[in-house]
Amino acid sequence: MANRTRTYPGWQLLLLLLALGGIIGGWIGDAIVRVWPALSLLGRVQSVGLPTFTMDLHVFTLSFGFMLNINFFTILGFVLAWLFYRRL
């Protein structure tokens, strides 16, 4: 039997799918929490990252920062996007 290894599409597609999965998961989570307020515990958001840092040099201004707002539905979107990537 031939030794077959599965090749996946590039990491760029994985990053795109994870971003879309997180965004769509967040939107769906917001909609579900609005319809069923009892699920508000699952819709609680934790912020992880670096707050915005701005450096004004009078000639130009540099801003750095990265913030990831995570809730249960965002993680669920990440997992579904990763499973979709594995199926490709």
Q: What angle do CA 77, 81, 85 make, to 5 degrees?
A: 170
- Parent domain of 21: 12-43+67-88
Those residues whose C-beta lies under 8 Å from the C-beta of residue 49, and which sit 6 or more positions away, are: 65, 66, 67, 68
- pLDDT digit string (tens) for 56-86? 999 999 999 999 989 999 999 999 999 999 9
Q: Is residue 51 part of a domain?
A: no
Model confidence at 39, pLDDT cuts 50, 70, 90, reads confident
pLDDT attached to residue 1: 52
- Give a yes or no: residue 26 inside a domain: yes
Q: Look at residue 61 and tell me if it is in a domain.
A: no
Domain count, the chain: 1
User: Is residue 57 assigned to a domain?
Assistant: no
In a domain, 5, yes or no: no
Q: Is residue 35 part of a domain?
A: yes
Tell me, yes or no, whether 58 lies in a domain: no
Residue 56 lies in a domain: no
